[in-house]
C-alpha cells in the first residue's frame, strides 16, 4: 500500500510471521441466488485472524464484509471453502452445531445494539450465560464492567442509557463469556464520534487487557486505526492488508484501492 510497502504482506491474507491464528478461511465462496440472479458475495477468500489482536475489515458497500463475518461466525453457511474457528471446522458443522458454537465460543456486536428493553444493563450483560445456564464468573464480570466504564449504570434499562452506553453494554455482553472471538459488524455505525471513541477504546482494551481476539467490520478509517491490522475487501476478494494502521495510511490504502 504505497509508501507503507514494508507493512504489506503478500495478499494471501496471512499475517507476516508465526503469530497464532484464532480463526481462518480458505477458498471461501458464498453465492446467493441461482441462475441469472446469482450474486457472488465471496469469490474465494483466504484470510487469517490472529489470536489476541483486533483486526478490522474494510471495503466498499457490497464488497462482502458482512458476508465474510457471517460465514466465519457460523451465522451463515458458505457455498464452498473452509472456515476454522478456535480449532473447530465450522464449514463442516450442522446448523445445530453452529448454534452451539455461537452460544458457547463466540461473541457478537451489531450496529443495532439488540438489547432486551425490559432488562437492566447487568441483566443484559449476563443474558447469554443465563440462557446457556452457565455460571457468571463474578471477577470477570467486574473486570468487563470496569473496562466498559458502566459500573454506575448497571441497574438502568436500555432506554435510560445513551447510544454509546447501550453499545458498551452490548460489548460487555459479547465479552462476559470469554469467547474465543468477538465479531463486531459496524459497532460504531450508529454512534457519534465521542461514543464511537468510547466503544473503540473498549474493544481495544478487551484485547490489550483481557486477551480477547476481535474482528470488526467498519467503514470509518479512524475506527479501523484502532486495530492491529486492517484487511481490505473488494468484490468479494481480499485485495490488501495493512499492519499498524493509522487513519492516514488507511486513507492512502483506500484511495489506492479505488
Ligand atoms: N441474503 C442475501 N441475498 C442475496 N444477496 C445478498 C444477501 N446478502 C448479501 N447479499 C449480496 O452480497 C453482496 C455482499 O453483501 P455484504 O452484506 O456482505 O456487503 P458489505 O460489504 O457488508 O456491505 P455494507 O458495507 O453495505 O454493509 C452484496 O452484493 C449483497 O447485495
Ligand atoms: Mg455489511
Q: Which atom of ligand 1 is nearest to the CA of 70?
A: 18
**Closest atom, ligand 1, to C-alpha of 217:** 22
Can you name the residues that pair with 17 across neighbouring β-strands? none
Angle between helices 163-175 and 138-148 (to 10 degrees): 150
Domain, as residue range, for 91: 2-117+179-256
* pLDDT value of residue 15: 56
- Place 14 in a pLDDT band, splitting at 50, 70 and 90: low
Share of the chain above pLDDT 70, in %: 93
Any idea which ligand is nearest the CA of 62?
1
Whether 10 shows a pLDDT value over 60: the answer reads no
pLDDT of residue 147: 83
Ligand 1: lining residues by beta carbon, under 6 Å: 32-33, 39, 41, 59, 61-67
Per-residue pLDDT band for 190 (boundaries 50, 70, 90) equals confident
**Which of 35, 60, 62, 184 gets mutated to test ligand 1 (max ligand atoms within 8 A of its CB)?**
62
Q: Judging by beta carbons within 10 Å of its beta carbon (0-12, 13-18, 19+), is residue 96 exposed, middle or buried?
A: exposed
Q: Which of 38, 41, 60, 68 to mutate to test the pocket of ligand 1 (most atoms within 8 A of CB)?
A: 41
142 CA to middle of ligand 2, Å? Answer: 32
CATH number of the domain enclosing 39: 3.40.50.300
What does the radius of gyration of the chain's CA atoms come to, in whole angstroms?
Answer: 18
Asked if residue 163 is part of any domain, the answer here is no
Confirm whether 127 is domain-assigned.
no
User: Is 193 within a domain?
Assistant: yes
Residue 159 lies in a domain: no
pLDDT attached to residue 9: 42
Query: Would residue 223 count as lying in a domain?
Result: yes
Q: What is the pLDDT of residues 63-94, one digit of tens each?
A: 999 999 999 999 999 999 999 999 999 998 99
Ligand 1 pocket test: which of 64, 77, 223 has the largest number of ligand atoms within 8 Å of its C-beta? 64
Q: Does residue 136 belong to any structural domain of this protein? A: no
Domain count across the chain:
1
Rounded (5°) CA angle 227-214-29: 100
- 166 lies in some domain: no
> What residues pair up with 82 in beta bridges, in sequence order?
26
- Read off the pLDDT of residues 210-246 as tens digits, 9 standing for 90 and up: 899 999 999 999 999 999 999 999 999 999 999 999 9
- For ligand 1, what atom is nearest to the CA of residue 33? 4
Beta strands in 86-235 (DSSP E): 88-89, 106-109, 181-185, 214-217, 229-234
Mean pLDDT of the chain: 90
Q: Is residue 185 a contact partner of residue 217, using CB atoms and an 8 Å limit?
A: yes
161 lies in some domain = no
255 pLDDT above the threshold of 80: yes
The whole-model pTM stands at 0.90
Band of pLDDT at residue 148, cut at 50, 70 and 90: confident
Amino acid at each position: 500500500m504505497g509508501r507503507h510497502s514494508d507493512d504489506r504482506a503478500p495478499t494471501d491474507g496471512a499475517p507476516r510471521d508465526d503469530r497464532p491464528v484464532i480463526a481462518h478461511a480458505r477458498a471461501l465462496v458464498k453465492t446467493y441466488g441461482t441462475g441469472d440472479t446469482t450474486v457472488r458475495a465471496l469469490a474465494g477468500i483466504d484470510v487469517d485472524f490472529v489470536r489476541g489482536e483486533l483486526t478490522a475489515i474494510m471495503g466498499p458497500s457490497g464488497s462482502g464484509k458482512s458476508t465474510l463475518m457471517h460465514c466465519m461466525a457460523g451465522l451463515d453457511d458458505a457455498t464452498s471453502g473452509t472456515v476454522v474457528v478456535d480449532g473447530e471446522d465450522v464449514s463442516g458443522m450442522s446448523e445445530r452445531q453452529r448454534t452451539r458454537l455461537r452460544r458457547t465460543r463466540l461473541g457478537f456486536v451489531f450496529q443495532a445494539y439488540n438489547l432486551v428493553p425490559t432488562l437492566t444493563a447487568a441483566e443484559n450483560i449476563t443474558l447469554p450465560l443465563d440462557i446457556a445456564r452457565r455460571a457468571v464468573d463474578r471477577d470477570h464480570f467486574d473486570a468487563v464492567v470496569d473496562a466498559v466504564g458502566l459500573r454506575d449504570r448497571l441497574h438502568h434499562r436500555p432506554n435510560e442509557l445513551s447510544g454509546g452506553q447501550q453499545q458498551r453494554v452490548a460489548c460487555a455482553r459479547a465479552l462476559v463469556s470469554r469467547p474465543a472471538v468477538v465479531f463486531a459488524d459496524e459497532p460504531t455505525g450508529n454512534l457519534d464520534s465521542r461514543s464511537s471513541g468510547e466503544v473503540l477504546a473498549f474493544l481495544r482494551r478487551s484485547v490489550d487487557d483481557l486477551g480477547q481476539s476481535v474482528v470488526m467490520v467498519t467503514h470509518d478509517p479512524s475506527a479501523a486505526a484502532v486495530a492491529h491490522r486492517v484487511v481490505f475487501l473488494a468484490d468479494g476478494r481480499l485485495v490488501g492488508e495493512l499492519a499498524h494502521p493509522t487513519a492516514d495510511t488507511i486513507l492512502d490504502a483506500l484511495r489506492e484501492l479505488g
